[in-house]
Amino acid sequence: MSFIIENLTFYYSPQKPIIKNLYLELDRGHSYVLLGTNGSGKTTFLRILNGLLKPVSGSILLNNIDLHSFKRSSIAQLISFVPQNYTAHFPFTVYEAVLMGRYPYKAHFSDYSLEDHNITISILEKTHLIDLAS
Protein backbone atom coordinates (compact mmCIF):
# COMPACT_ATOMS: atom_id res chain seq x y z
CA MET A 1 0.00 0.00 0.00
CA SER A 2 1.30 3.46 -0.79
CA PHE A 3 0.16 6.98 -0.04
CA ILE A 4 0.90 10.06 -2.09
CA ILE A 5 -0.14 13.28 -0.38
CA GLU A 6 -0.08 16.38 -2.59
CA ASN A 7 -0.57 19.99 -1.47
CA LEU A 8 -2.54 18.88 1.58
CA THR A 9 -3.95 21.70 3.68
CA PHE A 10 -6.14 21.34 6.74
CA TYR A 11 -7.38 23.76 9.35
CA TYR A 12 -10.14 24.12 11.89
CA SER A 13 -9.77 27.90 11.59
CA PRO A 14 -8.38 29.55 8.40
CA GLN A 15 -6.21 31.81 10.55
CA LYS A 16 -4.37 28.79 12.04
CA PRO A 17 -3.62 26.10 9.44
CA ILE A 18 -2.58 22.85 11.05
CA ILE A 19 -1.20 21.36 7.83
CA LYS A 20 -0.26 23.61 4.92
CA ASN A 21 0.69 22.47 1.39
CA LEU A 22 2.14 19.14 2.54
CA TYR A 23 3.70 16.84 -0.05
CA LEU A 24 4.67 13.36 1.11
CA GLU A 25 5.10 9.85 -0.30
CA LEU A 26 4.75 6.81 1.95
CA ASP A 27 5.68 3.48 0.40
CA ARG A 28 4.83 -0.07 1.38
CA GLY A 29 7.52 -1.96 3.24
CA HIS A 30 9.00 1.09 4.97
CA SER A 31 8.63 2.33 8.52
CA TYR A 32 7.92 5.97 9.21
CA VAL A 33 7.95 8.07 12.36
CA LEU A 34 5.63 11.00 12.93
CA LEU A 35 7.13 13.40 15.46
CA GLY A 36 5.88 16.72 16.75
CA THR A 37 5.02 18.67 19.84
CA ASN A 38 1.65 18.38 21.57
CA GLY A 39 -1.06 19.94 19.44
CA SER A 40 1.06 20.12 16.30
CA GLY A 41 -1.32 18.04 14.15
CA LYS A 42 0.00 14.47 14.31
CA THR A 43 -3.34 12.90 15.20
CA THR A 44 -5.16 15.22 12.79
CA PHE A 45 -2.84 14.06 10.00
CA LEU A 46 -3.55 10.39 10.80
CA ARG A 47 -7.30 11.07 10.86
CA ILE A 48 -7.01 12.67 7.42
CA LEU A 49 -5.01 9.69 6.12
CA ASN A 50 -7.69 7.22 7.16
CA GLY A 51 -10.56 9.34 5.86
CA LEU A 52 -12.02 10.43 9.21
CA LEU A 53 -11.32 14.08 8.38
CA LYS A 54 -11.47 15.69 4.95
CA PRO A 55 -8.67 18.09 3.98
CA VAL A 56 -9.50 21.68 3.03
CA SER A 57 -7.45 21.23 -0.13
CA GLY A 58 -5.02 18.84 -1.75
CA SER A 59 -5.27 15.18 -2.56
CA ILE A 60 -4.47 11.86 -0.97
CA LEU A 61 -3.84 8.91 -3.25
CA LEU A 62 -4.02 5.44 -1.80
CA ASN A 63 -2.46 2.98 -4.24
CA ASN A 64 -2.79 5.72 -6.90
CA ILE A 65 -6.56 6.10 -6.32
CA ASP A 66 -8.08 9.18 -4.68
CA LEU A 67 -8.85 8.28 -1.07
CA HIS A 68 -12.25 9.99 -1.19
CA SER A 69 -13.42 7.75 -4.04
CA PHE A 70 -13.24 4.69 -1.75
CA LYS A 71 -16.28 3.46 0.16
CA ARG A 72 -15.87 3.66 3.95
CA SER A 73 -16.00 -0.15 4.14
CA SER A 74 -13.11 -0.44 1.66
CA ILE A 75 -11.00 2.02 3.63
CA ALA A 76 -11.75 0.05 6.81
CA GLN A 77 -10.29 -3.08 5.19
CA LEU A 78 -7.07 -1.25 4.32
CA ILE A 79 -6.50 1.08 7.26
CA SER A 80 -7.08 0.73 10.98
CA PHE A 81 -6.61 3.43 13.56
CA VAL A 82 -6.66 3.35 17.35
CA PRO A 83 -6.55 6.87 18.77
CA GLN A 84 -4.01 7.81 21.41
CA ASN A 85 -6.63 8.50 24.06
CA TYR A 86 -9.09 5.67 23.61
CA THR A 87 -11.33 4.53 26.43
CA ALA A 88 -13.08 1.22 25.97
CA HIS A 89 -16.52 1.15 27.54
CA PHE A 90 -16.33 -2.62 27.91
CA PRO A 91 -13.47 -4.72 29.32
CA PHE A 92 -12.10 -6.18 26.06
CA THR A 93 -9.27 -8.68 26.13
CA VAL A 94 -6.26 -8.19 23.86
CA TYR A 95 -7.60 -11.05 21.73
CA GLU A 96 -11.00 -9.36 21.34
CA ALA A 97 -9.41 -6.01 20.49
CA VAL A 98 -7.30 -7.58 17.73
CA LEU A 99 -10.26 -9.64 16.49
CA MET A 100 -12.24 -6.41 16.06
CA GLY A 101 -9.78 -5.53 13.31
CA ARG A 102 -11.49 -8.25 11.26
CA TYR A 103 -14.90 -6.55 11.54
CA PRO A 104 -14.79 -4.94 8.05
CA TYR A 105 -14.36 -8.40 6.50
CA LYS A 106 -17.35 -10.13 8.06
CA ALA A 107 -20.93 -10.18 6.82
CA HIS A 108 -23.43 -8.05 8.72
CA PHE A 109 -25.02 -9.77 11.72
CA SER A 110 -22.71 -12.78 11.43
CA ASP A 111 -20.17 -14.21 13.84
CA TYR A 112 -16.46 -14.07 13.20
CA SER A 113 -15.33 -16.97 11.01
CA LEU A 114 -12.70 -19.58 11.77
CA GLU A 115 -10.45 -17.70 9.33
CA ASP A 116 -10.92 -14.48 11.35
CA HIS A 117 -9.90 -16.30 14.53
CA ASN A 118 -6.88 -17.92 12.82
CA ILE A 119 -5.73 -14.54 11.47
CA THR A 120 -6.13 -13.02 14.94
CA ILE A 121 -3.98 -15.74 16.50
CA SER A 122 -1.37 -15.32 13.77
CA ILE A 123 -1.19 -11.56 14.38
CA LEU A 124 -0.87 -12.07 18.14
CA GLU A 125 1.97 -14.55 17.57
CA LYS A 126 3.79 -12.29 15.08
CA THR A 127 3.60 -9.35 17.47
CA HIS A 128 4.57 -11.48 20.49
CA LEU A 129 1.29 -10.65 22.24
CA ILE A 130 -0.14 -14.17 22.36
CA ASP A 131 0.66 -14.47 26.08
CA LEU A 132 -1.49 -11.39 26.73
CA ALA A 133 -4.42 -12.59 24.60
CA SER A 134 -6.76 -13.40 27.47
> What local confidence, expressed as pLDDT, does residue 50 receive?
84
Instruction: Put the strands of the sheet holding 57-62 in their side by side order.
Output: 16-26, 3-13, 57-62, 65-66
Nearest to 46 by CA among 27, 33, 64: 33
- State the average pLDDT for the chain: 90
Distance CA 82, CA 29 (A): 21
Q: What is the mean pLDDT of residues 84-89?
A: 75
Per-residue confidence at 10, pLDDT binned at 50, 70, 90? very high
Distance CA 26, CA 31 (A): 9
Statement: 3-78 belongs to CATH 3.40.50.300? yes
Q: Cα dihedral sign for 103, 29, 83, 88? A: positive
45-68 pLDDT tens trace: 999 988 889 999 999 998 899 988
> What local confidence, expressed as pLDDT, does residue 122 receive?
96
Domains of the chain, by residue range, sit at 3-78, 94-132
